Structure 1
Amino acid sequence: MSDNRADERPIPQASHGGGLSEKQKERGASWRVFVYIAGSHLLLGFLALLFYLGSHAQK
């Protein structure tokens, strides 16, 4: 074992958030939640419309 310190490199630390401030992270998370909720409501509304139209189809 050698005492050479050149072989010991510092462990890189993960950078979460890309250097954004906490307020910017909160705003991004809020928008993401809004988009997920709005998107799921639109999808469920579309499925409800399909079920409604399917139940009223002429047989």
Structure 2
Amino acid sequence: MPDDHANDQPAPEPSFGGGMSEERKERGTSWRVFIYIAGSHLLLGFLALLFYLGSHAQK
């Protein structure tokens, strides 16, 4: 009969941040939000330019 108490190590606690501090996570999130907002504005500006050029095209 195997001994169930041979490995009495406590269960590891889950680590959801990969060991990063809260301040570093917040900074990473802030950069990600900035990149998403800037990228979406660039995309929408490009689409607005396409619509403008399309409406002023010689037909």
**Residue equivalent to 1:16:** 16
Number of aligned residues: 58
Query: Which consecutive aligned stretches of 4+ in structure 1 deviate over 3 angstroms post-superposition?
Result: 9-14
Which aligned pairs between 1:1-59 and structure 2 lie closer than 5 A? 4-5=4-5, 13-59=13-59
TM, length-normalised to structure 2: 0.79
Q: Which has the higher helix share?
A: 1
In 1: Cα distance, 2:57 partner to 2:12 partner: 62
Q: Which amino acid aligns with 1:4?
A: D
Q: CA deviation at 1:48?
A: 0.2
In 2: Cα distance, 1:46 partner to 1:12 partner: 50
5+ residue gaps, structure 1, are: none
User: What CA RMSD, in Å, does the superposition of the two structures yield over aligned residues?
Assistant: 2.2
Identity %: 75
5+ residue gaps, structure 2, are: none
